[in-house]
Amino acid sequence: MKQSELILAIETSCDETSAAVIEDGKRILSNVVSSQIESHKRFGGVVPEIASRHHVEQITVIVEEAIKKAGVDFEDLDAVAVTEGPGLVGALLIGVNAAKAIAYAHDLPLIGVHHIAGHIYANQLIVDSLTFPLLALVVSGGHTELIYMKEHGSFEIIGETRDDAVGEAYDKVARTIGLPYPGGPHIDRLAAEGTDVLKLPRAWLEADSYDFSFSGLKSAVINTLHNYKQRGEEIKVEDLAASFQASVIEVLVGKTKRAVEQYNINQVLVAGGVAANKGLRNALEAEYADSNVNLIIPPLNLCTDNAAMIGAAASIKLKKKEFVGYDLNGNPGIDLEQW
């Protein structure tokens, strides 16, 4: 008698083509990722048409490799899961259509997954269990959110960005100071070598708000550079990076800390590509080192987009038998709280 549940998961929301096989929502049997960074680097950001073309070229190969690495056959699967949104609509459609074809060909139920739910549930792959109520700090190229969860599958957004997402701000600042795409890792590296001498503004917004704003900080960086240039002075790029990152981290950690206290949180999860930022990781670890709050940060390979996290989130839907039909479409505007 079969004991475990196997999900084939597919992720193509942006510029990574990924497929994974996940057992019982917790164990990674395979997680294959094909990155497109080199293709987009010369454009300074992701070009949707190029991303879609790469997904078309890679998807079949990546799925076959994931199945092979997991040591299973399609007949062993219990469901097929795929990111339905948010993301680039053309990119999403490649994964959605591949998932629908596989589900139809092998008579398997289909599960549509919210991309941000996936990032949150990446943490389920590294801990025994998620402890509720919990707070997820989502930090990525397209999202910056504080999400309260009282149980599995329940998402309440208590704070979100009003303008730029944190990863977007990193990339824009990096471009301003002449660093290559993606800019986040380069700023993180330089920040470790610099000092917060510029004391850039911290956008706390209203006293009771958990929202974020990084557009003003980005403008402050540009104005600072401009002022130095007008005065004919040189600015150390390491100090600029350190000052920018210090402002970002202080607000992220500060608002997270206040939400933890207000909502009586047991566990804090960090999710999204910017969770790979060493400065942020170190600051959060220092904040909760001597605390009863359990801080969980995924390893670097589970911070960036991957299909394993999609499989982990899909396991919650599989248990509830919440499947979707073959009319599933890419949905860039999908609502996390309604998912």
pLDDT in 10s for each residue of the chain, 339 residues: 467 999 999 999 988 899 999 999 999 999 999 876 666 666 676 777 777 888 899 999 999 999 999 999 999 999 999 999 999 999 999 999 999 999 999 999 999 999 999 999 999 999 999 999 999 999 998 899 999 999 999 999 999 999 999 999 999 999 999 998 889 999 999 999 999 999 999 999 999 999 999 999 999 999 999 999 999 999 999 999 999 999 999 999 999 999 999 999 999 999 999 999 999 999 999 999 999 999 999 999 999 999 999 999 999 999 999 999 999 999 999 999 999
- Residue 192 within a domain: yes
- Residue 126 within a domain: no
Residues 271 and 320 in one domain: no
Residues 137 and 186 in one domain: yes
CATH number, residue 136: 3.30.420.40
Looking at residue 188, what is its pLDDT? 97
- Residue 191 within a domain: yes
Residues 62 and 166 in one domain: no
To the question of whether residue 107 is assigned a binding role by annotation, the answer is no
Q: What is the pLDDT of residues 243-257, one digit of tens each?
A: 999 999 999 999 999
To the question of whether residue 260 is assigned a binding role by annotation, the answer is no
For residues 139 and 243, is the Cβ–Cβ distance under 8 A? no
To the question of whether residue 184 is assigned a binding role by annotation, the answer is yes
Residues 209 and 95 in one domain: no
To the question of whether residue 55 is assigned a binding role by annotation, the answer is no
Residues 189 and 286 in one domain: yes
To the question of whether residue 140 is assigned a binding role by annotation, the answer is yes
To the question of whether residue 141 is assigned a binding role by annotation, the answer is yes
Looking at residue 38, what is its pLDDT? 66
To the question of whether residue 142 is assigned a binding role by annotation, the answer is yes
- Residue 1 within a domain: no
For residues 171 and 164, is the Cβ–Cβ distance under 8 A? no
To the question of whether residue 335 is assigned a binding role by annotation, the answer is no
Residues 135 and 264 in one domain: yes
- Residue of 310, 339, 319, 329 whose CA lies nearest to 78: 319
Q: Which residues pair with 20 in a beta bridge?
A: 9, 31
For residues 232 and 98, is the Cβ–Cβ distance under 8 A? no
φ/ψ of 197, rounded to 5, equals -95, -20
Supply the range of the domain harboring residue 238: 131-297
- Residue 229 within a domain: yes
Residues 183 and 270 in one domain: yes
Residues 237 and 270 in one domain: yes
Computed on alpha carbons and rounded to an integer, the radius of gyration of the chain in Å comes to 20
Q: What is the pLDDT of residues 278-304, one digit of tens each?
A: 999 999 999 999 999 999 999 999 999
Residues 236 and 137 in one domain: yes
Domains of the chain: total: 2
To the question of whether residue 311 is assigned a binding role by annotation, the answer is no
- Residue 177 within a domain: yes
Residues 97 and 203 in one domain: no
Residues 308 and 175 in one domain: no
To the question of whether residue 40 is assigned a binding role by annotation, the answer is no
> What is the spatial order of strands in the sheet that 6-11 belongs to?
27-35, 16-23, 6-11, 79-85, 110-114
What letters, b where the CB count within 10 A reaches 16 and e where it falls short, cover 154-176? ebebbbbbebbbbbbbbbbbbee
Looking at residue 40, what is its pLDDT? 64
Looking at residue 1, what is its pLDDT? 46
Residues 35 and 114 in one domain: yes
- Residue 92 within a domain: yes
To the question of whether residue 277 is assigned a binding role by annotation, the answer is yes
- Residue 314 within a domain: yes
To the question of whether residue 188 is assigned a binding role by annotation, the answer is yes
**CA–CA separation, 8 and 76 (whole Å):** 10
